[in-house]
Amino acid sequence: MRYSEKALIPFFMVTEDGTLSLANLVNLVQQVSERQLAGAASQTEMVKRYNIGWVITQSQIEITRMPRAEEHVTLWTEATSYNRLLCYRDYGVLDEQGNQLVIVHSTWVMMDLGTRKIVPIIDEIVEGFGAKKLTKVERLPRLPRFEDPEGERKYWVRYFDIDTNHHVNNVHYFDWMQDALGYDWMRTHKLVSANIKYEREVEPGTQLTSQYKVVREGGKTETYHQVRVGDTVNATAHLQWA
């Protein structure tokens, strides 16, 4: 059950090169799934009844071309399948000709809002979106940790990074990861894909360290990232660049 909305990319969501930032791409597509959920009265009622919330655990993003400022696009989303613990949701961005500019695969877990613990997926909730039950667990590509960063920057979690659930909006990890690479890197490389794993939330008011490693092999340029607070790794990512 695919849900879509048309959108016009605002000026203030693009970077220096005139294309949508990765963080804003994810803001825009996740907004569409929030609206799919909010639009289904039965969903809102069930989510309240079970007192659960959705938490993203990983996303794998493939970019053919990032949309430009003032470009008309279609944003779509679909909860494709689920198993005992994970729900798989895809997102995409189409241009006016219907070409797929970006595709996002993501995995979500259900959290009990009372205990704040992960709970098994409640069939009744996801079946309303046409997601098919799987017996096996499909995993998105794994991400390595590393102990020898090539560079790092420290960031404070700011007041405006916090959403209405009193959590850091997950898109800020992308800003911390990409910004740590520096202006020169960002000005001379184009993002081709991103795979991010959210492991543990960064708390409001903490200072985090965004570390990276560059790997150049077989004509490919890749960066590995981790956001950590002390010894805890909060998120890891693998980005590919052209």
Which residues are at the interface with its own copies (CB under 8 A)? 10-12, 14-18, 21, 23, 27-28, 30-31, 34, 38, 69-70, 153, 156, 158-160, 162-164, 166, 169, 171, 175, 178-179, 182-183, 186, 204-205
3-6 own/partner pairs: CB under 8 Å, 24+ apart = 3/32, 3/33, 3/35, 3/36, 3/39, 3/76, 3/77, 3/78, 4/32, 4/74, 4/75, 4/76, 4/77, 5/32, 5/35, 5/74, 5/75, 5/76, 6/72, 6/73, 6/74, 6/75
- What residues contact 85, with CB distance under 8 A and at least 6 apart? 109, 118, 120, 121, 137
The CB density around residue 41, as the number of other CB atoms within 10 Å, is 8
Task: Tell the smallest beta-carbon distance from residue 134 to its own copies (Å).
Answer: 29
CB 110, CB 86: distance < 8 Å:
no
Measure the CA–CA gap between 213 and 100, rounded to whole angstroms: 30
Cα dihedral 66→70→71→72 (10° resolution): 130
CB 194, CB 211: distance < 8 Å:
no
